[in-house]
Homo-oligomer: A and B are copies of this chain.
Amino acid sequence: MMQVSSICLAAKVPVRVKSLQTNPATINDPTSIAAPKWSQKTITLPPLKRGCHLVTSKPSAQILKEVGLELSGFKCGLAHLFLHHTSASLTINENYDYDVRDDTEIFLNQIVPEGPSAPWKHTLEGADDMPAHIKSSMFGCALTIPITNGKLNMGTWQGIWLCEHRDYPTPRTVVVTLNGI
């Protein structure tokens, strides 16, 4: 049963609100209890070259379908993506113009020193490694995205990026946890 109520996060004028609220379970009637659902998967992605990569868009339609299938069982919930690495990152940004991804890579390389003149002590694993660690903490290794009516509820121009910060591509592991009803 849908209920509509208003909630304002930041407004000096009225805001427009669209809401989906599930009935709290009626504890005296077990047949109406909303069953909690959890799904957790570990995915190993094939190596990607250094740079920012869009992982939720055509032509990788097959990927969206497989995510869609798993998500379709959830009316309302949250999808959590957790990268198992410290030299790559996950972020949400534009899904359209690939120049945005290229420019972001330019920015990261500009802002994080790399090479002989960089001040790092951690150099044993290569000149690209310490910068990769820093970039990983700057963007983060996890994302949480709302699920609504069986789909990731993102804005029109939003997509998920996997940002590879190492020169030598390696497989990347992501734990995907879905929770909701």
Q: List residues of A whose CB falls within 8 A of some B CB.
A: 5-13, 15-22, 24-28, 30-46, 48, 53, 55-56, 60, 62-63, 66-67, 69-70, 73, 76-78, 80-86, 91-94, 97, 99-100, 102-104, 106-107, 110-113, 119-122, 124, 130, 133-134, 136-146, 148, 153-158, 160-162, 173-177, 179-181
Contacts and interface: CB of A to CB of B under 8 A. Distances in A.
Interface residue SS majority, chain A: mixed
Given A10-B45, A43-B7, A84-B154, A36 B181 contact: yes
Sort A-B residue pairs by CB-CB distance and give the 5 closest, nearest first: A25-B35, A84-B155, A10-B55, A19-B41, A99-B122
B146 A177 contact: yes
15 contacts: A10-B60, A13-B46, A15-B43, A24-B37, A24-B73, A26-B35, A27-B30, A36-B181, A38-B180, A82-B145, A84-B154, A85-B155, A100-B130, A102-B122, A103-B122
A142 B143 contact: yes
